Amino acid sequence: MEKSRRDFLKIGGISALGLTALPAFKVLAGKKQPVYKLSDKALKGKRWAMVVDMKKCWEKQEKGVCKDCFVACHSIHNVPQIDNPKREIKWIWTEPYENAFPNLEYEYTAEVLKDKPFIVLCNHCSKPPCVRVCPTQATFQRKDGIVMMDFHRCIGCRYCMAACPYGSRSFNWGDPRPYIKKENMAFPTRTKGVVEKCNFCAERLAVGLKPACVEACKAKALVFGDLGDPNSEVSKLLKSNYTIRRKNDLGTHPNIYYII
Partner 1 sequence: MKIYDGRKIIPGILIAAVIFSFPFWLNFGKAAVPPKPKLPKEVKNCVEPTPFMRTSHMELLNKWRNLVVRENFRIFAAPDGKDYAMSLQNGCLKCHASKAEFCDQCHKYLDVKPYCWDCHLAPKENK
Binding status of residue 191 toward partner 1 by CB under 8 A:
yes
> Is residue 189 near partner 1 by the rule CB under 8 A?
yes
- Of 6, 37, 86, 182, the one binding partner 1 (CB under 8 A) is 37
- By rule CB under 8 A, what count of residues binds partner 1? 27
How far is 166 from 61, CA to CA, in rounded Å? 24
Length of the chain: 260
User: Contact, 124 vs 254, CB < 8 A?
Assistant: yes
For residue 80, CA distances in Å to 75, 90, 134, 138 come to 9, 8, 24, 21
Residues 145-174 that bind partner 1 (CB under 8 A): 148, 150-152
Rounded Cα–Cα distance for residues 130 and 161 (Å): 7
CA dist 206 and 201 (Å) reads 9
Least separation in angstroms between residue 189's CB and partner 1 is 6
Q: How far is the CB of 254 from partner 1 (least distance, A)?
A: 22
Please tell me the distance from the alpha carbon of residue 190 to that of residue 174, in angstroms, as a whole number: 10
Does 190 help bind partner 1 (rule: CB under 8 A)? yes
Rounded least distance, CB 196 to partner 1, Å: 10
Return residues touching partner 1 (CB under 8 A). 32-39, 42, 78, 140, 142, 148, 150-152, 183, 185-192, 202, 206
